[in-house]
Structure 1
Amino acid sequence: MNAPTQTDLLSVTLNRLHLKNPILVASGTFGYAREMEPFLDFSQLGGIIPKTITTEPRIGNPPPRTIETSAGLLNSIGLDNDGIDLFLEKHLNYLASLDTSLIVNIAGRTIDEMAVMAARLNSFQDQIAALELNISCPNVSGGVDFGTQPDLTEKMLKQVTESCQLPIIAKLTPNVTSVVEIAQAAASGGADAVSLINTVQGTAIDWRQKKPILGGVFGGLSGPAIKPVALRIVCQVSRALDIPIIGVGGIANIDDVMEFIVAGASAVQIGTANFYNPGLATQLVGELKQVVLEEKCTQVSELVGSLVYPER
């Protein structure tokens, strides 16, 4: 019998979205990919998620925009981006030429605006594998509105899925009382998967000057500090709902990847770690293959949700 190939071992399916492996790079941490060319082989990745795009170009929040914390990064970028017109003109062909799945992350001020963007991107189904809806950015005005109220979440997902045939991923915020309720609303609205989680809202203060450090005052905390929160939410959603999950938050090594997978994530996104180790994502693909073989599995999906909870 021939040894299983990487594709056999690592391919995953999230409803209508099919990926060669579960290792993705998170929006906002990978630019438009060109910047990362010297550091990794894009064809080894399961997918690339470029920085969020909006209808109009955005200059983002005033500086300072980032500050390191004791266990991560606090950012207040404010969705600085080129806008959808320039994205389609300048970036799409390059991104689509890479030998990996392209997942486009979008954000809008209104449900109608999000649906219009999705409909426009729907025309590029031969280049785009899926859309990720950013309804959870904590450092722009109104950035989390659609991701904190179940009725708005469901309404947005329904309108987007009616206007677009691409697979849809809802990226959800942890800054709510119950992420399970929001994930249920996203599933009811037609989401193919949910990304758990976006950053945790925080701030930084210079107490001597009695001033906030970030130009936008509040920002999103990412990195190792939020991994326990992200894992908790993945566990809760995977136990309550039957919807594919993409785990995000503080992943920096293969053990982190496996924790998310056994907790219930079918795929993961590498975020903050890209800033200090831009080749990490492709390294993790090779390490994941080795783990799957060591676990004597024929596919990585056999390990998804394999966490054993204590009896009560």
Structure 2
Amino acid sequence: MNLSIKLFGIEFKNPVWVASGTFGYGLEALELYDVSKLGAIVTKGLSLRPRQGNEPNRIAETPCGMLNSIGLQNPGVEEFLKKIYPKIEKLNTHFIANVFGETEEEYLEVCMALEGANKIVAYELNVSCPNVKKGGLAFGHDLKVLGNLVSRIKGKVKKPVLVKLSPNTGEVVPFGRVCVENGADGLVAINTIVGMKIDIRTKKPVLSTVKGGLSGPAILPIAVRMVWELYQALGEEIPIIGVGGIFDTNSALEHILAGASAIQVGTANFFDPLSPLGIIEGISQYMKEQGIERFEQLVGLAHHGQQADRCPC
């Protein structure tokens, strides 16, 4: 079965990637397996300057998932290039840099710093970060601000730009459309969903920041719905990368059949580190059973023959 894909002008050996913040910079997993088997590794988020992250508690287990409020802890792009990049440069798979900032200028500076790093083939913009110049509203929650950010970065960089959309806006399609209109090369759906947990014994929130990002199998139906909507509206214009709740072959296939051209495994890396390899094998086996030779034939297959959506309410 042919699992190779070509997206944004780049050849990937397969559509199974690992999500930002769940796989470090790809080095930690080397003790477990050969990461060159992965289609791509999306790095832990990189900012212009080092960040210490939030105070503990920063992680809490939830039914079918977890809440995190790490605070985007990272060494900063300069330190990454000096100490981490030389190590990942030797690994035989593609790397996509997850990038964030508090201003447009910070996003742009991080991307420009990475332009000469050939192992980094694309940028994934984390637009769920607060824009300090706009009163703290997340970049991905304001259509005009999001469009300006994408347009500005695309006007300066040579590498493909992907945008990781927030599910916390309610309707995801308008935000995907503004990314397309401003030159984005791909959409990543979705980021974590805002949630919280309370300790009934202390009668206080478990996380130091009160709220955090919910991820894991619990959010699978929401992520699949948003991939479906994006593909329905924009699938002919831009590739969609599905992420959210993927933990096995079946959940990965839901994203793919809904319209994802590739998928990212996230929280599952914590409780089943080998899950990405199982999903690669599982997709291949599914294709064999279905008589499908090329992976692209699976993408969006659930839309065939579908009528316009109707609310079941």
**Does residue 205 of structure 1 match 2:198?**
yes
Please report how far the alpha carbon of residue 25 of structure 1 lies from its aligned counterpart in structure 2 after TM superposition. Answer: 0.3
Residue pair 2:129, 2:139 contacting (<8 A) in 1 also: no
Q: What is the distance in 2 between the residues matched to 1:223 and 1:208? A: 25
Moved more, 220-229 or 10-19: 10-19
Residue 151 of structure 2 aligns with an amino acid whose one-letter code is K
Match of 1:281 among 276, 279, 282: 276
Q: What is the distance in 2 between the residues matched to 1:240 and 1:133? A: 21
Match of 2:152 among 159, 182, 204: 159
Do the aligned partners of residues 51 and 176 (structure 1) sit closer, same or farther apart at CA in structure 2, a change above 3 Å counting? same
Residue 200 of structure 1 aligns with an amino acid whose one-letter code is I
Q: What is the distance in 2 between the residues matched to 1:142 and 1:184? A: 24
Secondary structure, aligned partner of 2:66 = strand
Residue pair 2:77, 2:113 contacting (<8 A) in 1 also: no
Residue 267 of structure 1 aligns with an amino acid whose one-letter code is A
Residue pair 1:41, 1:282 contacting (<8 A) in 2 also: no
Match of 2:289 among 294, 300, 305: 294
Please report how far the alpha carbon of residue 198 of structure 1 lies from its aligned counterpart in structure 2 after TM superposition. Answer: 0.4
Residue pair 1:109, 1:142 contacting (<8 A) in 2 also: no
**Does residue 136 of structure 1 match 2:128?**
yes
- Alignment deviations for residues 267-287 of structure 1 (CA, whole Å, 9 cap, x no partner): 000000000111111221122
Residue 135 of structure 1 aligns with an amino acid whose one-letter code is V
Secondary structure, aligned partner of 1:130 = strand
Q: What is the distance in 2 between the residues matched to 1:59 and 1:106? A: 16
Q: What is the distance in 1 between the residues matched to 2:244 and 2:136? A: 19
Secondary structure, aligned partner of 2:24 = coil
Residue 53 of structure 1 aligns with an amino acid whose one-letter code is L
Do the aligned partners of residues 297 and 143 (structure 1) sit closer, same or farther apart at CA in structure 2, a change above 3 Å counting? farther
Please report how far the alpha carbon of residue 96 of structure 1 lies from its aligned counterpart in structure 2 after TM superposition. Answer: 2.2
Match of 1:252 among 242, 247, 250: 247
Match of 2:215 among 194, 198, 222: 222
Which residue number corresponds to residue 88 of structure 1? 81
Q: What is the distance in 2 between the residues matched to 1:175 and 1:17? A: 30
Residue 244 of structure 2 aligns with an amino acid whose one-letter code is G
Do the aligned partners of residues 167 and 142 (structure 1) sit closer, same or farther apart at CA in structure 2, a change above 3 Å counting? farther
Please report how far the alpha carbon of residue 210 of structure 1 lies from its aligned counterpart in structure 2 after TM superposition. Answer: 3.0
Please report how far the alpha carbon of residue 298 of structure 1 lies from its aligned counterpart in structure 2 after TM superposition. Answer: 2.2
Match of 1:18 among 2, 11, 20: 11
Residue pair 2:48, 2:109 contacting (<8 A) in 1 also: no
**Does residue 37 of structure 1 match 2:56?**
no
Please report how far the alpha carbon of residue 144 of structure 1 lies from its aligned counterpart in structure 2 after TM superposition. Answer: 6.3
- Alignment deviations for residues 191-218 of structure 1 (CA, whole Å, 9 cap, x no partner): 1111100000011112443321101111
Residue 45 of structure 1 aligns with an amino acid whose one-letter code is L
* TM-score, normalised via structure 1 length: 0.93
Residue 130 of structure 1 aligns with an amino acid whose one-letter code is A
Do the aligned partners of residues 143 and 79 (structure 1) sit closer, same or farther apart at CA in structure 2, a change above 3 Å counting? farther
**Does residue 178 of structure 1 match 2:171?**
yes
Identity over aligned residues, as a percent? Answer: 42
Q: What is the distance in 2 between the residues matched to 1:266 and 1:299? A: 12
Residue 259 of structure 1 aligns with an amino acid whose one-letter code is E
- Alignment deviations for residues 234-292 of structure 1 (CA, whole Å, 9 cap, x no partner): 00010001211110011111011111101000000000000011111122112211212
Residue pair 2:101, 2:129 contacting (<8 A) in 1 also: no
Secondary structure, aligned partner of 1:166 = coil
Q: What is the distance in 2 between the residues matched to 1:86 and 1:237? A: 36
Residue pair 1:157, 1:186 contacting (<8 A) in 2 also: yes
Q: Equivalences for 1:39-78 in 2 at 5 Å? A: 39-78=32-71
Residue 289 of structure 1 aligns with an amino acid whose one-letter code is S
Residue 280 of structure 2 aligns with an amino acid whose one-letter code is V
Q: What is the distance in 1 between the residues matched to 2:287 and 2:265? A: 19
Residue pair 1:144, 1:173 contacting (<8 A) in 2 also: no
Residue pair 1:146, 1:153 contacting (<8 A) in 2 also: yes
Residue 170 of structure 1 aligns with an amino acid whose one-letter code is V
Secondary structure, aligned partner of 2:101 = coil
Q: What is the distance in 2 between the residues matched to 1:137 and 1:170? A: 12
Which residue number corresponds to residue 269 of structure 1? 264
Secondary structure, aligned partner of 1:37 = helix
Do the aligned partners of residues 224 and 38 (structure 1) sit closer, same or farther apart at CA in structure 2, a change above 3 Å counting? same
Q: What is the distance in 1 between the residues matched to 2:213 and 2:37? A: 29
Task: Give the unaligned 5+ runs of structure 2.
Answer: 309-313
Residue 221 of structure 1 aligns with an amino acid whose one-letter code is L
Which residue number corresponds to residue 149 of structure 1? 142
Q: What is the distance in 2 between the residues matched to 1:143 and 1:12? A: 38
**Does residue 195 of structure 1 match 2:188?**
yes
